[in-house]
Structure 1
């Protein structure tokens, strides 16, 4: 065999061997990439993303897209070849596994945490939007969680509205614990509740649920094994229908979509606007992770403007794709003002992100 052929064959075999080894070697990394982007003003899987009833709504146009990041699962094992490919890609980011899944989270734990954050973000988005429109938002005490194995398990359920304990009305979560601990372990407590399945129904009937107290493991006080918390009430039903999405980062865009549907002004003026950012009950917009990937997702979907949390602006402006303008916002009101400028063509007035 000629030496040149032998050398080429040896090199080829060595390369194949290295690739095989690379595929077999696990590495402690995860990958992030641009995820789906959904218009909060439109439909998803044949259903409106925002469903509002009992209140007049108005036609909308254009886009107010929320954006996501796709990540490998907590139980996914990346190999060396995949990690190198991710490092070389312009659209993917490879990060230590512990960055996305701290404390060795299981897939179930990670999904549960994402779902809880997403639920809370929806609640805050509704509150912030209604406050911006000067519409009333109420509150009620609900069962936040039931401790497995404690007396309340199977009798009270997460989402049940607690109206009274032993006939005494409750207005704050702390009222529940105070009234329960007036008992001795082994005594009965009577809860007046609206079951979770009827919690959003006007005029829903209450029912009484009797729970026998037990002794707390750390002292002798009486407990039933629930965590009470505050839940908001709304003057009319607002439902957000979006499956397979987790985390809190869509909050601001949900708020904008709700405001758009409840006001006669067409907020976008037909323009394609995307964005991201957490939101609290008072309309403060917070930073999120994966901002460069979300901008890529928005750009690829056709967005011309991207509403960017102020604390993400420095990172976002490092190397954004061309053709999309990064607009700095710190509050829901900032976002509404930015949409006014976009709608009216006052682009010089837009607060743009700059490199930090």
Structure 2
């Protein structure tokens, strides 16, 4: 065989081999792309996203859009070609698989966690909005958020139980529960004073404070990571996570299915503020944004900020409310026609919206590359 022909054949075989490797060989990466964006002032699935009764509401205009990110599933296996394409594309991001699904987390586990975070973000959004408007009547309590399967608390404590005390010590913050439990040694008993979830739900429906407590004794077991120090060591657990629940002075329902995670908190809070005040927050402008929010109204960072700004601009947003800690990253690649507005609290966001609605945007706190 002539040398030239042999060289061409060898090169062709090498190319075929590389193509096969690129297509067949999985790489440990996942993909993020812009997801749906929904106007919290409007409707979704044929019904209003925010439904308020028992308090006067006002007409709204414009948009206050929450934004999302789509991610590939936990069992999705990306090949080399898909990874390279994703790295080169502008409207998606390729990230290590463990970034989205750490410690081998399954799709079901991730979905459950996102649902819990989404529910908590709605509660915090309501609290932050009413505090911003100085509307009294919000009552807060510590509850059982989840109970681990095959853990000591299973069958003894239930999601929604109100935790009044641990070992006779009053519980005021959800972090108190872990602190009190970890004072024990593994194998020792800990006593929870609770209002059962059923009684608590009935009280909440009547806007009353839960009453009628009972004591539940649980034997602790060993776990490997101390939540106080983050270090691997033996410490006692009962297998629950604690959280906060609230009773509000009137009904505020957030109707939005198939969304998870905590990042819509800010936009839900602003939507509630807009509906409860006579002033039009947006002035008819198209504003989108993102950010977690806590009960005090502090805005926290989120993931996938670059994808959220792209998705918002594609739908027509002119301004994007951006958590301060996400600003530097978001400012590296801003979609044309979109202004990134830096926010640290709900109060910052309300003031910026007031400026936007009045066309006084010259002094808006904008995101900049560090």
User: TM-score interval w.r.t. the shorter chain?
Assistant: 0.7 to 0.9
- The answer to whether the 8 Å contact 2:62/2:286 transfers is yes
TM-score (norm 2): 0.80
- The answer to whether the 8 Å contact 2:289/2:322 transfers is yes
How much does 1:280 deviate? 1.5
Distance (Å, rounded) in 1 between the aligned partners of 2:170 and 2:163: 7
Return 95-104 or 223-232, whichever deviates more.
223-232
Distance (Å, rounded) in 2 between the aligned partners of 1:260 and 1:49: 13
Q: Which residue of 1 aligns with 2:296?
A: 282
- The answer to whether the 8 Å contact 2:34/2:310 transfers is yes
How much does 1:145 deviate? 3.2
- The answer to whether the 8 Å contact 1:164/1:193 transfers is no
Q: Which residue of 2 aligns with 1:157?
A: 158
TM-score (norm 1): 0.83
Q: 1:228 to 1:6 in 2, by over 3 A?
A: closer
Q: Confirm whether residue 299 of structure 1 aligns to residue 313 of structure 2.
A: yes
Distance (Å, rounded) in 2 between the aligned partners of 1:326 and 1:121: 22
Q: Which residue of 1 aligns with 2:205?
A: 201
Return 309-318 or 195-204, whichever deviates more.
195-204
Q: Which residue of 1 aligns with 2:83?
A: 83
Q: Which residue of 2 aligns with 1:38?
A: 38
RMSD after superposition: 3.7
Out of 253, 260, 272, the residue aligned to residue 286 of structure 2 is 272
Return 105-114 or 334-343, whichever deviates more.
105-114
Q: Which residue of 2 aligns with 1:19?
A: 19
Q: Which residue of 2 aligns with 1:322?
A: 336
Distance (Å, rounded) in 1 between the aligned partners of 2:92 and 2:58: 39
Q: Which residue of 1 aligns with 2:228?
A: none
Return 109-118 or 186-195, whichever deviates more.
186-195
- The answer to whether the 8 Å contact 1:249/1:277 transfers is yes
Q: 1:46 to 1:170 in 2, by over 3 A?
A: farther
Q: Confirm whether residue 354 of structure 1 aligns to residue 355 of structure 2.
A: no
Q: Which residue of 2 aligns with 1:111?
A: 111
The total of aligned residue pairs comes to 345
Distance (Å, rounded) in 2 between the aligned partners of 1:193 and 1:135: 29
SS at match of 1:307: strand
Distance (Å, rounded) in 1 between the aligned partners of 2:34 and 2:192: 51
SS at match of 1:68: strand
Alignment of 1:201-240 (within 5 A): 201-202=205-206, 213-217=217-221, 229-240=243-254
Distance (Å, rounded) in 1 between the aligned partners of 2:252 and 2:169: 27
Q: Which residue of 2 aligns with 1:243?
A: 257
SS at match of 1:26: coil
Q: Which residue of 2 aligns with 1:74?
A: 74
Distance (Å, rounded) in 1 between the aligned partners of 2:272 and 2:296: 15
How much does 1:129 deviate? 0.6
Unaligned runs of 5+ in 1: none
- The answer to whether the 8 Å contact 1:144/1:226 transfers is yes
- The answer to whether the 8 Å contact 1:56/1:262 transfers is yes
Q: Which residue of 2 aligns with 1:140?
A: 141
Unaligned runs of 5+ in 2: 223-236
Return 168-177 or 33-42, whichever deviates more.
168-177
Q: Which residue of 1 aligns with 2:234?
A: none
